[in-house]
Structure 1
Amino acid sequence: MDPTAPGPAPPPPAPEATRVVLNGTSLTVGELIALADGAAVPAVAPEARERAVRSWRTAQRLAAAGRLYGRGTGVGAHRAVTVDADDETAHGLRLLRSHAGGAGALLPARQIRAMLAIRVNQLLAGGSGIQPAFVDALIEALRLGVHPAVNEYGGIGTGDLTALAQTGLTLIGERPWLDSEVTTRRRREPGAHPDGADALLDGRSTAGLYDWLDNRRAGDRGTDPDGRPAAGAVGGGRGGPGAGSRTRPDLGVQVGEHPRVVDGPASRADDGRSGAPSRRSGGGGPATGPARGAEGRRGAPAPTSAGVPSDRLPAPVTLRPGDALALLSSNALALAQAALGRHALDVLLRATHAVAALSLAAVSGSPEAYAAPVHALRPYPGAARAAGEVRRLLGLPDRPSGPGRRIQDPYGFRAFPQVHGCALDAAERLREVVEVEINCPSENPLVAPDGTGAYHHGGFFAAPLGLALEAANLALLQTAQLSTARLTALGDPGLTGLTPFLAAGPASSSGTMILEYTAHSALAEVRACAAPASTGHAVLSRGLEEAASFAGQAARQTLRATDAYATVLACELVTAVRALRMHPARPRTAVLTVADAALPDGVDDRPLTQDVRAAAELLPTLAEL
């Protein structure tokens, strides 16, 4: 098998699918989100694949002329340990196995699909020296809707080693593929949680996978004294879902489900014979021979699965010298989580313009704080945009004729452009950083594009990403605090001219009082997520690696913060719409028309959970107004 040969022809895409061409240089966050959600199918630009072929050939030539880190040497503290040329492939397999030590809950399919798309695009940038067959296999996984099982914990912002090692073992056939189509379909159902059912998998979701791996290991007959596989085979079988899920009726999904485990076909070696790598946790090379049945293994039989036909799985790649470290040298998972977090942040920040505009109208707030001349004098792009969006949504003039009902409003209204503008600017900066990182090679060593050499460097240290994420998290906290301030103001009759807490009926009625508590509970989560992860410290690998960016932790904080902020904003939206419904003169704006039609009616004292849920589901619509 020639690793430089083009990959298998892709299956015909669904008629409605968008095509995203990956070329290693121009992937956008929007295109990445479409690939992660299964709304687009990937294609490879021919010139980009040829760039990857040249990089692979250059790495082969350089390795023949002298040692390359991680190929002719060990890694980390073992960088000075020489690897014999005839041991390089086995060394790579040991590297993947030893680094596949992630732990914690399995990550959602959406995050892993984004990771795969990023990694293949980075490989197409042409600095890795990996064999192009890995590019083909990653593309096939995206096309076919399968993904590797990846655990949450393992990366510290200096390369997502555990996640990509688990991915590498899946690509060579040593770990199972998981089927993402069920969760993708659920994400498309009306009312589904944005991250889909798989975002809610807890630690028990790993049980089915570990059962599968245990049974695979039980079918391995071991290795001979030299570390080579003994005669016999690695156990086959199909893994599958475990029992015991619980229902989240508020999100319309099942959680605690074991993932569907899909057993792939045997790896095909260059001579056409099966060559699936050994499933033992230790060293050794590929094993050949017929698979042993479940009855020949220790313990319980392999779990069953609905399964997927073998033509719905990527063909396993035969590992070659240098492939392992080339695959591992990336922050693709942290970047995937950052991109998804940035996408959610962008939607919520745009929706905030609409919600803040409704609140401003509900208190008859002063338009002077939003006047174009004010923001022309302090030309921060985000502040000018925030003020302009509120003016547009409420139909306010650029130059208001007077202060309105009050000379000055509370900060939640008066300082909104300045505070929210910082969040808009931080989100834009985060987009820029993500798009730089997903479109450039980060591998160590880096194969020079002109083929003249390989550079050992620290480009994988994700300081730019981590700091951009933390700036966004801190800015989001600031704008979330203003949302809760406006929510409190909406319950103040001195500002609205309405009843306290917008209550109806007896004077003791509570109205929307409890939403302040709910919003501040969610705000506390946003605040916790704003604590900079980069203040952490790590000294690893016998002191050789004495710092870390913790960009992956910052990315997970962004995902949690945006989820909590959606609740904060939904509480404000429910309250603002109620205030405007009670207002003697409702503004005639499209944003109020849309919100009024979508949210439940009634001002009696009643549980407001459904109102908040409806408001949260409405936020993406408001973001598009």
Structure 2
Amino acid sequence: MIELSGTMTVGDVVALADGHAAVSLPREVVDAVDRVHDGAAELSTRHATYGRTTGVGANRMAAIPTDDRDFGMRLLRSHSVDAGDPLCARTVRSMIAVRLIQLCVPGAGLDPAILTGLERMLNDDALPEVLQYASIGTGDLAALAGTALTLIGERPASAALTPMPPWGADSALPFMSSSALTVGRSCLAVDELNRLERASSVIYMLSFLALDGNPSTFSPVAARSAAAPHVDTVASRLRSLFADDRTERPPARIQDPYGLRVYPVAHASVVASLDSLVAQLERTMNSAQENPLFDVDGDQVIHHGAFYQAALSLELDGATLALALTAPITHSRIRMLNDPETNGGNAFLAADSDGSSGLMMVEYVAAGAIAEIRNAAQPASVGTLVLSRGAEEDATFASQGVLQLERSVAAYRVLLCCELVGAVRLLRQRGIVERFGGVLGRALAIAADLPRDEEDRDLRGDLATAETVLDELGRLIAAPPR
């Protein structure tokens, strides 16, 4: 059971998205939201309030008659437009989890019954259908409007769900005023990427030892000299893995190629960007960002731009760019594994040297994955759109940024699979698999199902097998401290 406290984490969102935990609302949270709801109702009788006493977007100057009881429902219906394929249930649960976490921080002024409705939706797994293409810019309006219509019973849920009464203007806009889908998807992406970056270090070390790399590259002195965040985190991790080699052997080279030599520095950029992205996500989900906000104690309605996700957009771009920076040196190691000048055997780790292709095409697959990562690394934050007859003259494109990060993560998985297949094959060819203990020994045991047949054949199954073990390899290494 996860009790919402106002200090929730990416891990909490992932657990709720995966259905590994139920959610509960403390009484004091509901009471605090109820207090602001009552205060907002009174404040709105004395102050013009966007989305309550006025229209929205380009209609913000239009006054809403006090006897218009249907305005809230019209707002939800008109904003619920989306298109394309449905998003998966896990992604939808992440959105609901984030929106519920956000609403536990009082400020939106909506009816607290909506919190209990979202709680039921999550715990009963009675989900709305959310489609692929929707709003971009000021929030995930369409996805959340559709969620509201599902709570009210105007749209079907994926399981039985007792419908709520129709919502008024006190709740319609405040509920939609969020980037909960973008934040939820970002939580899932960063959780997966955190595992993959740790798996990368395990796979790197398998390649490093298979290629007799020079350990000075991750020495404490080298790490200090890098003068960049988290290089020592990565170097310390690599030194620990290197110690799992129970034999003494001299390095093959005084100075290794970049694929081995600059990994601690390049990979530290991924660790640093993920650390920063997690911090921004957790600040965002634990803040009241709805427009307007109701400062009941200060007796004021605050119209603002805090919902403008510039920081999140930049952090998403940063994570994608960090992957694009480190991907080529992964490909460099794959080339080294395939090169007889560095692997000490046959070209492409083939079974014989008479023109066999071996792992040649694995290198090409890796190149295709890098092309996808590079394509996705075009910063989404430089995009802009003018919406609603000029009332919203810019959009942060954070929702596009997370789509690009998802594409990069998927391609990064493929890239790591390609390196793992080559590293394990070279270790087996050299007959040194048994000399490793500790984490590396466990890693090789996890990867033991990789096919041993080295004749030229269809290698699709090798990559598929490698993909199934990546997350388990990542769990062998503890997450770096925040």
2:176 to 324, 328, 335: 328
Note the C-alpha offset of 1:83.
0.2
Work out the CA distance in 1 between the residues paired with 2:204 and 2:70. 60
The answer to whether 1:366 aligns with 2:217 is no
- The Cα offsets for residues 6-42 of structure 1, whole Å up to 9 and x where unpaired, read as xxxxxxxxxxxxx11112x211001110000100100
Partner of 2:480: none
* AA matched with 1:369: T
1:160 to 133, 137, 140: 140
Contact 1:133 1:317 survives alignment (8 Å): no
Gap runs ≥5 in structure 2: 477-482
Query: Where does residue 299 of structure 2 map in the other structure?
Result: 452
CA distance in structure 1 between the partners assigned to 2:449 and 2:126 by the alignment? 36
Greater share of residues in helix = 2
How far, CA to CA, are the matches of 1:137 and 1:166 in structure 2?
Answer: 14
Following the alignment from structure 1 to structure 2, what is the Cα–Cα distance between the partners of residues 115 and 403?
Answer: 52
Structure 1 counterpart SS, 2:239: helix
Q: Is the 8 A contact 1:337 1:552 kept in 2?
A: no
**Which residue, out of 11, 16, 22, partners 2:4?**
22
**Aligned residue in 1 for 2:452:** 601
Does the Cα contact within 8 Å between 2:71 and 2:168 map onto a contact in 1? Answer: no
Q: Secondary structure at the match of 2:354?
A: coil
> 335, 341, 350: which one pairs with 2:198?
350
Q: 1:606 and 1:376 mapped to 2: Cα distance?
A: 46
Question: Which structure would you say has the larger RCO, counting Cα contacts within 8 Å and 6 or more residues apart?
Answer: 2
Does 2:56 align with 1:75?
yes
Moved more, 150-159 or 313-322: 313-322
Q: Which amino acid aligns with 1:347?
A: R
C-alpha distance in structure 1 between counterparts of 2:453 and 2:44, whole Å: 73
- Letter of the 1:469 counterpart: L
Count of residues in correspondence between the two structures: 470
Output the CA distance in 1 between the equivalents of 2:157 and 2:43. Answer: 34
Quote the residue 1:62 is aligned against: 43
Q: In the alignment, which residue of structure 1 is the partner of 2:18?
A: 37
What does 1:384-463 correspond to in 2, within 5 Å? 384-395=232-243, 404-448=251-295, 450=297, 452-463=299-310
Find the residue that maps to 1:64 and give its secondary structure. coil
Cα distance between partner residues in 2 of 1:384 and 1:330: 37
Structure 1 561/395 Cα, relative in aligned 2: closer, same or farther at 3 Å?
Answer: same
Match of 1:615 in 2: 466
2:66 to 85, 88, 91: 85
Change beyond 3 A, Cα 1:596–1:103? closer
TM-superposition CA deviations, 1:261-295 (whole Å, max 9, x none): xxxxxxxxxxxxxxxxxxxxxxxxxxxxxxxxxxx
2:336 paired with 1:486? no
What does residue 120 of structure 1 align with?
Answer: 100
The match for 2:224 among 365, 376, 382 is 376
Determine the structure 2 residue equivalent to 1:176: 156
Distance 2:169 2:353 in 1: 78
Query: Aligned in 2, Cα 1:460/1:21: closer, same or farther, shift over 3 Å?
Result: same
Q: Please tell me whether the aligned partners of residues 340 and 559 of structure 1 are also in contact (alpha carbons under 8 angstroms).
A: no
- The SS at the match of 1:152 is strand
Q: Which TM-score applies when normalising by structure 1?
A: 0.73
TM-score normalised to the size of structure 2? 0.94
Aligned counterparts of 2:30 and 2:335: Cα–Cα separation in 1: 56
Find the counterpart in structure 2 of residue 150 from structure 1: 130
Take 1:546 and 1:491, find their aligned partners in 2: how far apart are those partners? 52
**How far, CA to CA, are the matches of 2:27 and 2:80 in structure 1?**
32
- For residue 97 of structure 1, what is the aligned residue in structure 2? 77
Shift of 1:378: 3.7
Alpha-carbon deviation of 1:585?
A: 3.9
SS at match of 1:374: helix
What's the offset of the Cα at 1:65?
1.9
Contact 1:126 1:449 (8 Å CA) reproduced: no
| Alpha carbons 1:141, 1:314 under 8 Å: kept | no
Which letter maps to 1:388?
S
The answer (yes or no) to whether the contact 2:330–2:415 under 8 Å persists in 1 is yes
Cα distance between partner residues in 2 of 1:380 and 1:403: 29
Q: Which residue of 1 aligns with 2:440?
A: 591
Cα deviations across residues 375-432 of structure 1 (Å, max 9, x unaligned)?
13445342112222222112179xxx99722111111110001100000100110100
Instruction: Give the superposition deviation at 1:584.
Output: 4.7
Tell whether the 8 Å contact from 1:134 to 1:317 is kept in structure 2 after alignment: no
- CA gap of 1:596–1:322, structure 2 versus 1, over 3 A, is closer
| Structure 1 position 596, deviation (Å) | 4.4
The question of whether the paired residues in 2 share the 8 Å contact of 1:480 and 1:569 is answered with no
CA-to-partner distance for each residue in 1:576-614, whole Å, 9 max, x for gaps? 000000115444134253244232222111111111111
Q: Provide Cα deviations, 1:104-155, integer angstroms capped at 9, x if missing partner.
A: 2111111111111111111110011010111010000000011111112223
CA gap of 1:396–1:39, structure 2 versus 1, over 3 A, is closer
Q: Which has the larger radius of gyration?
A: 1
Q: Which amino acid aligns with 1:578?
A: R
* Residue deviations 1:442-501 (CA, integer Å, cap 9, x gap): 100011263521200001111111100000000011222221111111001111211111
User: 1-side partners of 2:250 and 2:294: how far apart?
Assistant: 62
